[in-house]
Amino acid sequence: MRTPALFIGHGHPLNALLDNSYTRCLRQLGEGLAKPELILMISAHWESFDTQISVHPHPPMIYDFGNFAPELFQITYSAAGAPEWAARVQKLLGDFPLKLNAQRGFDHGTWTVLHWLFPKADVPVLQLSLAVDLSPAEHYQLAQGLAPLREQGVMIVGSGNIVHNLAQVNWRQIDGVPPLRWAVQFDEWVKQQCLAGNHEALINYPKYGQAALLSVPTAEHYLPLLYVLATQQPEEELKFVFEGFQNAAIGMRSVQLG
């Protein structure tokens, strides 16, 4: 049976502490998911000069953000690593060589999401990095090689944001502020391309114009979406498990395949 794949918009790290419509949605989503054998995370917050995979058996916490609420630094996510799976992933990726990273822990793109989806931390977790020298098309091609993992009980989870412009955010208020016009425009365009299965357009998102360039000033938060979509099978159901914005310029749209 094929395991679902998820793209989760993770937004502000404070979402790990808040009770809002987004975190309640993640909690409810997690309650409805069958427990997978393994979670393979692709987080916007692990970029590297080559493609790396974590092999730490007990990944440490990484609090990779600034002077936010002290309570954030008290959160721990104690899921085990899964170094024994790394060889399987290496074999699947073939022409995309993987470097093993024995030090990497859980960055906030990983633990703020899994904290809600799998609060018991009872599923082992691998992380795959985003190589900065690959184009979106190459990231998509790499991710296509991961698709067979979904037939082996592996849940692929991308964590980022479709719209992510920190220069335009309203830092004073997470919820309740209207999103910027171009953010809504790009988010809606991405929604329609996802529903149409038009992955080629999503790979070449800069061609959409100014709204795309404002929404994706740097690619790292957008690319995890491509990693998930690349594993979509013909006629496989796609649905949006959350839609909305935070801080006016962060899109929280989240996607489920299967």
Identify which of 38, 51, 28, 42 has the alpha carbon closest to the alpha carbon of residue 79: 38
Please spell the DSSP secondary structure of 24-64, one letter per residue. HHHHHHHHHSPPPSEEEEEEEEEEESS-EEE--SSPPB---
SS3 257: strand
Residue whose token pair is 């020298």: 133
Q: What is the pLDDT of residue 87?
A: 87
Cβ contact 213:138 at 8 Å: no
Which residues face 116 on adjacent strands?
Answer: none
Q: What is the pLDDT of residue 57?
A: 97
Residuewise pLDDT in 10s, the chain (258 residues): 899 999 999 999 999 999 999 999 999 999 999 999 999 999 999 999 999 999 999 999 999 988 888 999 999 999 999 999 998 999 899 888 899 999 999 999 999 999 999 999 999 999 999 999 999 999 999 999 999 999 999 999 999 999 999 999 999 899 989 999 999 999 999 999 999 999 999 999 999 999 999 999 999 999 999 999 999 999 999 999 999 999 999 999 999 999
Classify the C-alpha dihedral 208-214-215-216 as positive or negative.
positive
Q: What is the pLDDT of residue 77?
A: 98
Q: Which CATH class is domain 5-257?
A: alpha beta
Q: What residue ranges do the domains of the chain occupy?
A: 5-257
In this structure, how many other beta carbons lie within 10 angstroms of the beta carbon of residue 237?
Answer: 10
Which residues face 7 on adjacent strands?
Answer: 158, 255
